[in-house]
Amino acid sequence: MPDSSASHANTALREAVAASGWTAVELLRALNSTAAEVGLTVRYERTALAHWLRGSRPPPLIGDLLAETLGRRLGRPLSAVDLGLLGGRPTGPLGGHPVEELAHLDTAPARPYRLRSVLPSWPTHPLPPPTRPGARRVGTVQVQAVAALAADAARHHNRFGGQVARALLLTPLTRHVPDWLRAPAGETDHRALLVHASALCVVAARTYVDDGRHGTAQRYLHLARQLAEQAQDAPARALALRALSAQATLLGHHAHALELADAALMDATAGPPEVRAYVLVQQGICAAHLRDARRSHAAFDAAAALLSDSPPQQTGPGHDPGRTSYPRAAFHYQRALAETALGRTRQALAAFERSLLVRAPDEHRPLALTRLHIARLLAMDGRLQQARHHADEAWSLHGTLRSAVVTAERRRVDAAVAQGVRPRAER
């Protein structure tokens, strides 16, 4: 309910709404969509907007979401403070030293997904780590612990979904890892800790994406990027930027996703071939969503050439693409996503089937998603019996999963089966 404690008309909000050119209904529809990006279901009506224009205040998160919605429309960052909504928070993705942000991120208030986040540049002088008085010196043991935690969390995410993986990683990520990053260490060990902490933040972000909480996920990815910058590690930053691009793709912000993928590829050139291939594939997916088939296929061909020189791997460390591996199942799955975006159903189905053939049997989440993508394509093509078979196979894995993404995809499959319509002709 709106807070009616204020009594003065909100001129700043009124001017922003007028500049947007939206009607009240259009603005509130856009607000509802922005709220959905952070896992929030709201259905505000025109009376709520009228209250806000008269000076009452929405809850702080709604004020932030309203500012983000209008900022996207107007093409510039806005905060709730800019709109005269008290209690607003700054527009920047993160503030302060990244290690301190890491220690408090899980208790910070929810924020919107920021579409217009500024692309980063390398810091001229990395910030020195904050010190913890009396801390014991850390070294190889702590580095190995963080690396193992990132691998285990990625494996749990693929096997059980985001909620289970997050329960495993959140306490060590926000308590032990910051303590180790504050402690005395040799330069090599400190940089390694930063790199593995960055990877752990990427996994944490995936768990929030899996719950549809994209604002929090984005903040973890910005933090992953900052930690990589503190380590002066270009491949780690490439992986963080690549994850930001994948998130933007999932939300339908395709031009921004390609911008992030291009930035990631610049950093990936300093990394191993698996990292370059992983980033190229994301660039190919972005191009596919922008209907640039030539660029998409060129990116996938380049990635395939890089991977052809690497030994085949069914799974990599933590069952996830990383710095030294790129599982073939993931490559085929992502090629299928690009072909789907291009409207090439036959090619997409073939790539999804190849992914299933080489996917590890304990990777329940990607297995379920692959089956559901196949089911939806088959249903849209009128092959309803085959679609139901794949949907049932996917749902047989659901008992082991806690994944909002899988649940949402099942709903889309059910809708496609219910409609039983054919897609547009393939290109």
Residues recorded for the chain? 427
Computed over every residue of the chain, the mean pLDDT equals 86
Read off the pLDDT of residues 147-157 as tens digits, 9 standing for 90 and up: 999 999 999 99
pLDDT band at 227 (very low <50, low <70, confident <90, very high): very high
Higher pLDDT, 402 or 280: 280
Poorest-pLDDT segment among 70-74, 286-290, 345-349: 70-74
pLDDT at position 115, please? 85
HSE-up (13 A, CA, CB side) for residue 231:
26
Mean pLDDT within 9-16: 90
Domain boundary among 230, 259, 294: 230
What digits encode the pLDDT tens for the residues 318-338? 344 556 679 999 999 999 999
Inside any domain, residue 113: no
Considering the domain boundaries, does residue 282 fall inside one? yes
* Arithmetic mean of pLDDT, 9-18: 90
Residues 98 and 211 occupy one common structural domain:
yes
* 3-state SS assignment for residue 404: helix
The pLDDT score that the predictor gives to residue 94 is 46
Co-location of 343 and 380 in the same domain: no
Q: How far apart are CA 66 and CA 162, in angstroms?
A: 28
> What confidence score (pLDDT) does residue 106 get?
75
Same domain, 385 and 341: no
If phi over 0 gives left and psi between -120 and 50 gives alpha, with beta otherwise, what is residue 259?
alpha
Same domain? For 88 and 101 the reply is no
164 shares its domain with 64: no
| CA-to-CA separations, 410 to 41, 224, 396, in angstroms, rounded | 19, 31, 12
- Range name among 176-180, 203-207, 423-427 with the lowest pLDDT average: 423-427
Is residue 123 in a domain? Answer: no
- Domain-terminating residue out of 302, 318, 352: 352
Q: Is the pLDDT of residue 143 over 90?
A: yes
The backbone torsions φ and ψ at residue 240, rounded to the nearest 5 degrees and listed phi first, read -65, -45
Distance CA 151, CA 322 (A): 10
Predicted confidence at residue 60, as pLDDT, reads 87
Contacts of 371 (CB under 8 A, 6+ apart): 356, 390, 391, 393, 394
The answer to whether residue 125 sits within a structural domain is no
* Pairwise CA distance, residues 331 & 76, whole Å: 36
pLDDT at 391 over 60: yes
Q: How confident is the model at residue 138 (pLDDT cuts 50, 70, 90)?
A: confident
Structural domain includes residue 112? no
Residue 317 has pLDDT above 60, yes or no: no
pLDDT at 209 over 60: yes
From residue 355, give the alpha-carbon distance in Å to each of 20, 349, 370, 374: 45, 10, 8, 11
Predicted confidence at residue 290, as pLDDT, reads 97
Question: For position 182, what pLDDT does the model report?
Answer: 87
**Same domain for 329 and 296:** yes
Give the model's confidence band at 122: pLDDT under 50 very low, under 70 low, under 90 confident, else very high. Answer: low
The pLDDT, as a whole number, for residue 123 is 62
- The Cα 357–Cα 3 span in angstroms is 56
Burial 406-417 (b: 16+ CB within 10 A, else e): beebbeebbebb
Domain membership of residue 129 (yes or no) is no
pLDDT exceeds 80 at position 408: yes
Provide the pLDDT for residue 125: 54
Whether residues 205 and 240 fall in one domain: no
Q: How confident is the model at residue 421 (pLDDT cuts 50, 70, 90)?
A: low
Q: How confident is the model at residue 314 (pLDDT cuts 50, 70, 90)?
A: very low
- Mean pLDDT is lowest, of 123-132, 267-276, 397-406, for 123-132
Predicted pLDDT at 310: 65
Q: Domain of 377?
A: 363-427
Q: What is the mean pLDDT of residues 134-141?
A: 82
Regarding whether 251 and 226 lie in a shared domain, the answer is no
Tell which of 352, 384, 415 closes a domain: 352
Predicted local confidence at residue 124, as pLDDT: 53
* Residue 135 vs residue 393, higher pLDDT: 393
Which of 84-93, 312-321, 373-382 is modeled with the greatest confidence? 373-382
Q: Looking at the domain assignment, is residue 170 inside a domain?
A: yes
Q: And the tokens for 394?
A: 């996917």
pLDDT at 194 (0 to 100)? 94
DSSP state of 2: -
Does pLDDT of 313 surpass 80?
A: no
Considering the domain architecture, whether residues 100 and 211 belong to the same structural domain is answered as yes
Residue 415 lies in a domain: yes
82 and 43 in a common domain: yes
For the chain, how many structural domains are there in total? Answer: 4
Residues 76 and 152 in one domain: no
* More confident site: 349 or 404: 349
What average pLDDT score do residues 248-253 get?
A: 95
Contact (Cβ atoms closer than 8 angstroms) between residue 25 and residue 80: no
Q: Could you tell me if 197 and 290 lie in one domain?
A: no
The model's pLDDT over 88-120, given as tens digits with 9 standing for 90+, comes to 454 444 456 788 888 777 777 778 888 876 556
- The percent of residues above 90 in pLDDT, for the chain, comes to 55
Regarding predicted confidence, which is higher, 7 or 185? 185
Higher pLDDT, 23 or 99: 23
